[in-house]
Chain A
């Protein structure tokens, strides 16, 4: 989906929708039912029911009409075949256009993704394996992302702690959330989070650098290590872990109790293969760097952290 010609084709000829398959492949919400009906018809048309039995997921790229008429399902993500499939879908759409359907304002309101509380700070994390080890598979050159939420109460706590002392420990809930759900090897895809007892070090400290015009600047330093080991697991591939150091800065607006600037870098190593992120560099430990930056765009306000709702988030 990153190929320039594919991007151009999608922008020009389609109305593109991005979604988490967990929110639409099951359940009885109107749009989920629309999607499930359309997807099942496509899988049946392509005689892929047995695939669904083996891999019960509707992950993929679909082309459909507004009324649910199914046109195409992308077979792979190679640019050339993607362009051919999109062209075929477009021709099919023009030869057999969808029927009319009514979509009300109420349906649109019900389908709107929830927005994060406006008092919550959203941090976007980007993950890389750098420097890329020699011989590492191409997938390790990926850059991936996630969102972290920092709640207003945690910011207020930081303001209070740093008013009382120039050095303070990051609130434990935030430190654990960072380690369990975000300081992960997400480079090749969605890594498994850690349980609280699998976080061996979550030591984060803030230090007041100064204050001006109602904004207090803090330095952030951290030392983290987490590891899981499930030898009884059917797909056991050894221990999985991360460790490293974090350096950063954040600016707190004292009047609004908001983080108005957040910059941090986690540098360390990871090891092992998560359930969905195999293909890691060989040889045991490999580099992991994570950039953390505050964001406030539409994606930040509507796309939640990967593990929101998972125990402890």
Chain B
């Protein structure tokens, strides 16, 4: 019982004296970066996708180009 109280006190003391702006996990950014898409995995995201179909139609007309519409269950640029 005394041991558990001491352990809790030490844990609380550590919280109080933590320096400002300290990070809890210096490796967090690296771990997150490892999960994010690589440039090769996100080539499709570099296409200048429009999300306003009317604006795309006007642009296509002005540029003399056809429209390519990619539409899926869920937004293509989000979760699909």
Chain A contact residues, CB within 8 Å of chain B: 1-4, 7, 10-11, 13-22, 24-25, 30-31, 34-35, 57-66, 71, 86, 89-90, 93, 97-98, 100-101, 103, 107-108, 110-113, 126, 128, 130, 143-147, 166-167, 186, 189-190, 207-212, 215, 217, 219, 247-249, 263-265, 276, 289-291, 293, 299, 302-306
Given A207-B15, A247-B25, CB of A19 within 8 Å of CB of B68: no
Nearest B residue to A276, CB-CB: B73
Contact present for B23 and A62 (CB under 8 Å): no
Given A2-B44, A15-B59, A16-B47, CB of A126 within 8 Å of CB of B35: yes
CB neighbours (8 Å) of B79 from chain A are 144-147, 186, 190, 305-306
Instruction: State the Cβ distance, A189 to closest chain B Cβ, in Å.
Output: 7
Contact present for B57 and A217 (CB under 8 Å): no
Nearest A residue to B58, CB-CB: A103
A290 to B78, CA, bound (A): 15
| In the complex, number of A-B residue pairs with CB atoms less than 8 Å apart | 243
A181 to B19, CA, bound (A): 35
Contact present for A293 and B36 (CB under 8 Å): yes
A247 to B53, CA, bound (A): 40
Nearest A residue to B57, CB-CB: A66
Q: Is B1 an interface residue (CB 8 A)?
A: no
Instruction: State the Cβ distance, B38 to closest chain A Cβ, in Å.
Output: 8
Contact present for B67 and A15 (CB under 8 Å): yes
Contact present for A108 and B66 (CB under 8 Å): no
Q: Which of B19-41 contact A (CB under 8 A)?
A: 19-25, 28-29, 31-32, 35-37, 40-41
Nearest A residue to B37, CB-CB: A143
Tell me which of B57, B61, B66, B73 contacts A21 (CB under 8 A). B73
CB neighbours (8 Å) of A60 from chain B are 70-71
Chain B interface, number of residues (Cβ within 8 angstroms):
56
Contact present for A247 and B28 (CB under 8 Å): yes
Contact present for B43 and A65 (CB under 8 Å): no
Contact present for A211 and B35 (CB under 8 Å): no
Contact present for B61 and A265 (CB under 8 Å): no
A190 to B73, CA, bound (A): 8
A7 to B46, CA, bound (A): 8
Q: Is B65 an interface residue (CB 8 A)?
A: yes
Instruction: State the Cβ distance, B47 to closest chain A Cβ, in Å.
Output: 5
CB neighbours (8 Å) of A30 from chain B are 54
Instruction: State the Cβ distance, A19 to closest chain B Cβ, in Å.
Output: 4
CB neighbours (8 Å) of A247 from chain B are 24-25, 28
Contact present for A304 and B35 (CB under 8 Å): no
Tell me which of A2, A21, A31, A209 contacts B18 (CB under 8 A). A209
